[in-house]
Homo-oligomer: A and B are copies of this chain.
Amino acid sequence: MVVKLYGAHMSTCTARAMICLEEKQVEYELVPINLFDAQHKLPSFLSMNPFGQIPALEDDDLTIFESRAITAYIAEKYKNNNSTNLLRQEDIKESTLVKVWMEVEAQRYEPIIRPITFQFFVAPLFGKKTDQNIIDQNLEKLGKILDVYEKKLRCTKYLAGDYYTLADLHHLPCTHYFMKTPYASLVNSRPRVRAWWEDISSRPAFMKVAENMVYAKN
**A215 within 8 Å of B by Cβ?**
no
* Stretch of A24-32, A71-79, A182-190 with 4 or more beta carbons under 8 angstroms from chain B: A71-79
Pairwise interchain contact B108-A51, C-beta atoms closer than 8 A: yes
**A66 within 8 Å of B by Cβ?**
yes
Residues 41-88 of A contacting B (Cβ, < 8 Å): 50-51, 62, 64-66, 68-69, 72-73, 76-77
**A96 within 8 Å of B by Cβ?**
yes
**A133 within 8 Å of B by Cβ?**
no
Give chain B nearest CB distance to A94 CB in angstroms. Answer: 10
Q: Is the interface of A mostly helix, strand, loop or mixed?
A: helix
**A100 within 8 Å of B by Cβ?**
yes
**A176 within 8 Å of B by Cβ?**
no
**A2 within 8 Å of B by Cβ?**
no
Residue in B closest to A102 when the chains form the complex, CB atoms? B69
**A123 within 8 Å of B by Cβ?**
no
A121 to B151, CA, bound (A): 35
**A38 within 8 Å of B by Cβ?**
no
A6 to B152, CA, bound (A): 21
Our pick among B50, B64, B99 for the contact of A96 (Cβ within 8 Å) is: B64
Binding site for B on A (CB under 8 A): 50-51, 62, 64-66, 68-69, 72-73, 76-77, 92-93, 96-97, 99-100, 102-104, 106-108, 111, 145, 148, 151-152
Given A50-B152, A66-B107, 12 further pairs, Cβ under 8 A: A50-B148, A51-B104, A62-B96, A64-B96, A64-B100, A65-B100, A68-B99, A69-B102, A76-B92, A76-B96, A106-B107, A111-B111
